[in-house]
Amino acid sequence: MADDPTPQTHRARYHDRLLAELQDIRTAGDDTTADRQPVVLDQQSVGRLSRMDALQGQAMAQAMQSRRNGRARAITAALERLAGDDFGWCEDCGDYIGTKRLDLDPTILRCVDCAR
């Protein structure tokens, strides 16, 4: 395996940044647990329109959580790569992705050519 061209200073920064983002995602997930619960159909207090609003709100909350889960998986995978030797290498061509691109998003898996 080739030497890792990601400078140690960058690796430390990516690590801290990814951990912080993961923490934010978990906090956001915890804070919105109630929004994703099944909608209780209560004829007394909830009219048809507001029931639809509630179902729509629940669907949106679930979609957002699904996006958060996807991002959390990408971050966890990037943290695992950072801990090992394969961080920063394009998963398609094997070239180094480059710190400029990794600075934008350390979870990126492909170099600019392969991402096109």
> By CB under 5 A, how many residues form the interface with Zn ion?
5
Select the span of 9-17, 26-34, 46-54, 86-94 touching Zn ion (CB under 5 A): 86-94
Q: Is 112 in the site for Zn ion (CB under 5 A)?
A: no
CB of 82 to Zn ion, least distance (A): 19
Candidates 90, 102, 106, 108; binder of Zn ion (CB under 5 A) is 90
Give the nearer residue to Zn ion in terms of CB position, either 24 or 86: 86
Q: How far apart are CA 74 and CA 57, in angstroms?
A: 26
Which residue ranges make up the site for Zn ion (CB under 5 A)? 90, 92-93, 111, 114
